[in-house]
Structure 1
């Protein structure tokens, strides 16, 4: 039986894709926000803004924005990165009295307000739901305290409420995307498992069919010939077939194992088949031809099954085996002048033609055509093309 496919490593494509988005999206937001707030902060420096703390805050936050971007893009977003970002943002919130002009503080449009919103949103991509909520509440509290220290109680409360609302919205969005990714990965894992099971089942069916074909075309075929009187019990053909049958069934380990794609001589394979019918009026015309090993096996075994049918059902007839090829198309024909038969009258449970010939050729993407009618003999046309 062919080896089943190896189990695929556990892969969560939706989760992997989401992780990439979760790394790039907050990194870009944090970097662009860091540069923007630095420019805005330096643009508005009316008292009580103090130049030294403001310059220090701008330098530290700008450098941190670049570090945040590089770390997140390179290693994915991590909890420790967003926690450091939260500490720096909370420090800026508490120091609003000396960093932000009172003129731009109302309405949540100051650069510290934008920085706080950005930190809350980006943190949710790295933290669990509960931790993300706590993170948002802590930053909102820091902003509220900083607003009161700056003498802006209205702004402190109103924007703290906005930050809490942003926390819940961001947490909800991240939760939904994570759940959707897990659901998609679950569906993909189920598909992988089902596909693997179907491949294993198909390989098992193919192995069973091959074993049935081997049994049908060896011992059962030979015994049927003897039972129908098509082969004399002391004939050279019977001895050759019996010897070949025993090698096929009892010594499979001694048979050479070839690369299925390796080219072998089809005409030589067919000459071996001809030798099995020693003593029967069989004429062979075989052109030299190289085909992949698996194709040679399928064609030779199909031809053998066809000739066995001739011996069993066309007693006293003569037969021809022909091999020729042209422009990449290989054709093998088995022809007899026996009684012929009605294809439509063959019961569906009959195994020989359906499996031993047609299924074999179909397995190598070849074709088998049977031209016959009662009283008109039989022509079995096997064809394979190496044109992809």
Structure 2
């Protein structure tokens, strides 16, 4: 019997929104930290009026410039990490507390000094790596360090005004990060639900297809052969009965013991149809089969549909002459089953009848092929199975 196809593999990315957000959270802090480091170095060295001390300033510029590059490489290579932003915050806090010897009094007011820019940058980047509460605490700590440093530099107005700005930046940056993280989680939750539903649908569809194939196999083999015997279309000791019984057993049990072919691999359709002809040994059947290569799945559908059509001939058109033809025409592969039996009225077939609806029509539709049935009472039957050779 046909095995139920395996369930599709789980998607490699289970949370695409989270992954995309993490990528942005790595690139954005790395870029602003590197650009800030370069700008800070240039601005810090440009203003060296007393009481700025050359040695501490030079040391701060060298350390912070090197650190900016290290921060950039670490974040780009490994993503934004808590330990990296903690080191960054420690250096920023040190610079804030040392503003008295690092920043000239003339550039202190208005939060335009390089230390003020450094503090803002550290506060923003910290929010991307830490939880919201921890990021806010670290931002407030940096703001407090700036306030203390400005007071030590004898600029109380700057200590109050820009510290308030840094506190506002902390809350705004933390709020933005919170909203984006929550949105990403919501998007991933919706995506995961969709993936689960899609996976269940694919599994259910695969199970239904396997069940339909099993039903077709049973209908076209054992049930078909028993029906022929019951209707008298096949004699109990005939060569056809022996051939069909042997073929039925192979169809039902051999697929479990042999590897499945690649559905796209080309096989000889005429050879497959000759196997079908052998199942009707002793019946007045004439076969004209041109050599033809088609994908394995198409060959299965055409051969099994032709077998089902011929079985109908044996059951319902006893001793009628039948023909099986295979030929190419207008870029298509055509298999025809023709008989001079009594024919039938297609409109009169009950919807519960399985043979034509499933064994022929549905089987052909499953591989993108078509089946056309031309028949009428007293006029015989022509069944044309056609697959357009897209290759």
Could you state the TM-score of these two structures normalised by the residue count of structure 1? Answer: 0.95
For the aligned residue pairs, the C-alpha RMSD in angstroms reads 1.8
Rounded Cα–Cα distance in structure 2 between residues aligned with 1:255 and 1:20: 47
Give the 4+ runs in structure 1 shifted more than 6 A.
Answer: none
The residue that corresponds to 1:270 in the other structure is 273
Rounded Cα–Cα distance in structure 1 between residues aligned with 2:27 and 2:12: 26
The residue that corresponds to 1:368 in the other structure is 371
The residue that corresponds to 2:140 in the other structure is 137
| SS class of match (1:107) | helix
Rounded Cα–Cα distance in structure 1 between residues aligned with 2:9 and 2:99: 61
Rounded Cα–Cα distance in structure 1 between residues aligned with 2:143 and 2:366: 69
Structure 1 residues 101 and 254, CA, compared in 2 at 3 Å: closer, same or farther?
A: closer
Rounded Cα–Cα distance in structure 1 between residues aligned with 2:156 and 2:65: 28
The residue that corresponds to 1:197 in the other structure is 200
| SS class of match (2:128) | coil
| SS class of match (1:294) | helix
Q: Is 1:123 aligned to residue 89 of structure 2?
A: no
The residue that corresponds to 1:72 in the other structure is 75
Deviates more, 1:336-345 or 1:302-311: 336-345
Query: What is the CA deviation profile of residues 314-366 of structure 1, one whole-angstrom value per residue up to 9, with x for unaligned ones?
Result: 22421110011246521100011222222222221111011101111122222
Rounded Cα–Cα distance in structure 2 between residues aligned with 1:252 and 1:83: 63
Query: What is the CA deviation profile of residues 14-71 of structure 1, one whole-angstrom value per residue up to 9, with x for unaligned ones?
Result: 1111111111101110111111122112222222222222222112111111111111
Q: Is 1:349 aligned to residue 352 of structure 2?
A: yes
Structure 1 residues 140 and 250, CA, compared in 2 at 3 Å: closer, same or farther?
A: closer
Rounded Cα–Cα distance in structure 1 between residues aligned with 2:307 and 2:132: 70
The residue that corresponds to 2:236 in the other structure is 233
Q: How far did residue 256 of structure 1 move?
A: 6.5
The residue that corresponds to 1:161 in the other structure is 164
Q: How far did residue 254 of structure 1 move?
A: 4.9
Rounded Cα–Cα distance in structure 2 between residues aligned with 1:204 and 1:38: 66
Rounded Cα–Cα distance in structure 1 between residues aligned with 2:242 and 2:269: 24
| SS class of match (1:246) | helix
Rounded Cα–Cα distance in structure 2 between residues aligned with 1:3 and 1:178: 35
Trace 1:317-332 onto structure 2 (pairs within 5 A): 317-326=320-329, 328-332=331-335
The residue that corresponds to 2:175 in the other structure is 172
- The match for 1:4 among 2, 7, 19 is 7
Q: Where do 5+ consecutive residues of structure 2 fail to align?
A: none
Could you state the TM-score of these two structures normalised by the residue count of structure 2? Answer: 0.94
